[in-house]
Amino acid sequence: MIENRLGDYLEHMRQAASDALIFVEGLNKEEFAEDKRTQQAVIMSLVIIGEAATKVMDRYPEFTAQNPQIPWRSMRGMRNRIAHGYFDINLDVVWETVQVALPELLTVLPTEQN
């Protein structure tokens, strides 16, 4: 019997999304573009989200099917693009993700497993 870690993975996603939003708080896009430390912190948060989303997709397919409002494939895809194309990261996409996708994710992510 595999231990049920679904709640942990969802919490990792929530925490990483919240962290990324805190990292960019008070910054505009130009300041973000000039702040390598913040970029790295946000990118790491996106990797954590994508890694947790991948675990949920692989280990709890019924949960992902029951929660189609969550962009599972997009999160996994972003993690893969970052991990495999690290030197080609598009900061405009990262900025847009933090400004639009992460706040939305936090509103649709269940606070506890079904």
Catalytic entry in 5, 12, 73, 84: 84
- Contacts of range 32-36, beta carbons closer than 8 Å, 24 or more positions apart: 32/91, 32/95, 33/91, 33/95
Query: Catalytic site residue 84?
Result: yes
Query: Catalytic site residue 14?
Result: no
d(CA 108, CA 63): 13
Judging by beta carbons within 10 Å of its beta carbon (0-12, 13-18, 19+), is residue 77 exposed, middle or buried?
middle
Catalytic entry in 73, 76, 79, 81: 79
Query: CA–CA distance from 102 to each of 18, 30, 46, 47, 94 (Å)?
Result: 8, 19, 9, 13, 10
Active site positions, annotated: 79, 84
